Amino acid sequence: MSNALGHAIRNTLLLSGSAVLLSACALQSERPELQAQDVPQQWSVPTQADVATWPDSDWWNTFADPGLSSLIDTIREQNLDLANNRRNLESAQITLREAGFELLPTGSITLGTGASYSESRTDAGTSTGSPNTPIELGARVNYSNILAKPAIYTKALADYDSREAQVADVTLTTLGTSASTYFQLLLIRDKIVAAQQNVQNAQAISDIASARVDAGVAVPIEALQQQIALQREMANLSNLQQSELSALSSLALLSGQRVQGFSIDEDTLQNIQIPQVQPGLPSQLLLRRPDLVQAEAALRSATANVDVVRMAYFPDISLTGSLSASSTSLTQLLSSPDTFLNLNGSVLQTLLDNGQRGRNLERANLSLESSLADYRKAVLNAFNEIEVLLSNMQVQNELVEVALQNLDAAEESFRIAQVRYQEGVTDYQTVLTSQNTLFSSRNSYLDTKLSQLNTTVNLYQALGGGWEREAE
């Protein structure tokens, strides 16, 4: 019985409100668009046609490093910020469902009973009626603010899309930071090995210098200078070991763990492959980069807000209906109750508000223009960033090759200088110069390798990291 009452009123109001809702949908504004020159037709940096595809969502696997893949999997499961993001998205989904229900009439069903007693006094005496306990069943449905509902839901949908893109952006940033920190840790470990080699080299030269001084073929200042160089390299080694602990602690936090007991087995950048990262068509970036989707959703929300504010110029149309049934017994209530049906409609129009609606609409339009400017700025920044990163990738590839060649040359130069100094053919200053060049070349090569890896990670992030929003 209760379902029948509710459906009767709901269907009545839905039929009467459908035409009004369709009219309201027709009043919604078109979203402002980007300018034609904002999105390039092609990238200025040449790309390889055979690999011109967007990154996959598991882009970290392209580095072919098991340690990185295992770490990212752990972070995706255990990172505390990502867990909060998932909960926030679930909350946003609930909010969107509530906004969808707002498009429908709101109803309620009540069931109650009460007692009544009647008594009359006449000259003939007092007449007392028996207690009456009627049972009442009622349903009420309200359908208010009908014209504004489509715009309100459109705004809610845009706000949800923005939240979804924000979650994707935070996830992409977290994973990118994790990869860069992992590479930084391996760089430090490589530098520790290089520093240990530097200490060994410095110690070897120190021993030779001391022996030459003892033999009377060299002045004491050579041994003193080399001792200073040796102490410098030993201090650098200690600082690197402390930096290793700091990087390990950062990765432990990203993994939701304490640094005690947390470990990374890999210890070098040398085995990590540099993948070829190529973008697809520039126009597709608008659906693949979370911050651009978020900015576009903010623009849609601002457009819908203009419609919501503009609806204040139209009448506030509301429909209400109620249906009640009563009887003195539950059996009679279900079989043949006394019923009462009431349907009401109202149209309210504000005639004078001292220009408040106009000011509200002006503010909404200004906000819409700002949202369009923010969207354009985000788009221009994204395309400029990718162009710079594509160019950087080419430069980094060349720099790594040069740095590796320089390192090979520095190692050979130091070897020759060390032998000639031991034989007494070369002076100490030549050995010191070649030694410093070798130490600098080792660090330069490692830094260039890290920069190449980080540029690749940044390019993956700039291209959206394999995320894609479904086209409308």
Q: Mean pLDDT, the chain, as a whole number?
A: 83
- pTM above threshold 0.85: no
Least confident range of 19-23, 78-82, 365-369, 381-385 = 19-23
DSSP assignments along 189-217, one per residue = HHHHHHHHHHHHHHHHHHHHHHHHHHTTS
The closest alpha carbon to 254, from 177, 172, 169, belongs to: 177
pLDDT above 80: residue 428? no
Give the domain CATH number at 208: 1.20.1600.10
- Model pLDDT, residue 75: 96
pLDDT digits (tens, 9 = 90+) for 456-465: 999 999 999 9
What's CA 229's distance to the chain center, in Å? 47
Residue 91 lies in a domain: yes
Strand, helix or coil for residue 251:
helix
**Both tokens assigned to 200:** 């060994």
What's CA 116's distance to the chain center, in Å? 63
**Both tokens assigned to 295:** 């900015």
pLDDT digits (tens, 9 = 90+) for 36-89: 899 998 888 766 545 557 889 999 999 999 999 999 999 999 999 999 999 999
Is pLDDT larger for residue 382 or for residue 222? 382
Least confident range of 288-297, 312-321, 447-456 = 312-321
Residue 172 lies in a domain: yes
pLDDT above 50: residue 139? yes
Residue 181 lies in a domain: yes
Q: Which residues contact 207 (CB under 8 A, 6 or more apart)?
A: none
* Residue 351's pLDDT band (cuts 50, 70, 90): confident
Alpha-carbon distance of 152 to 102, in angstroms, equals 9
pLDDT above 50: residue 1? no
DSSP assignments along 417-431, one per residue = HHHHHHTTSS-HHHH
pLDDT above 80: residue 434? yes
* Residue 116's pLDDT band (cuts 50, 70, 90): low
Considering its fold, how many domains does the chain have in total?
Answer: 1
pLDDT above 70: residue 341? no
> What proportion of the chain, given as a percentage, has pLDDT over 70?
83
Is pLDDT larger for residue 212 or for residue 21? 212
Is residue 16 a contact partner of residue 317, using CB atoms and an 8 Å limit? Answer: no
- Model pLDDT, residue 108: 76
- Model pLDDT, residue 27: 60
Alpha-carbon distance of 236 to 230, in angstroms, equals 10
Residue 324 lies in a domain: no
Residue 95 lies in a domain: yes
Residue 455 lies in a domain: yes
- Model pLDDT, residue 2: 43
Q: What end-to-end distance do the CA atoms of the chain give, in Å?
A: 42
pLDDT above 60: residue 277? yes
Strand, helix or coil for residue 242:
helix
Alpha-carbon distance of 218 to 211, in angstroms, equals 9
Is residue 381 a contact partner of residue 415, using CB atoms and an 8 Å limit? Answer: no
Is residue 271 a contact partner of residue 226, using CB atoms and an 8 Å limit? Answer: no
* Residue 147's pLDDT band (cuts 50, 70, 90): confident
Residue 189 lies in a domain: yes
Q: How crowded is the C-beta side of 427, counted as CA atoms within 13 Å? A: 3
DSSP assignments along 255-310, one per residue = TTS-STT-------STT----------GGGHHHH-HHHHHHHHHHHHHHHHHHHHH
Least confident range of 118-127, 135-144, 145-154 = 118-127
Least confident range of 166-170, 281-285, 350-354, 387-391 = 350-354
Residue 157 lies in a domain: yes
pLDDT above 90: residue 373? yes
Domain assignment of residue 61, given as a range = 11-30+39-107+147-313+362-462
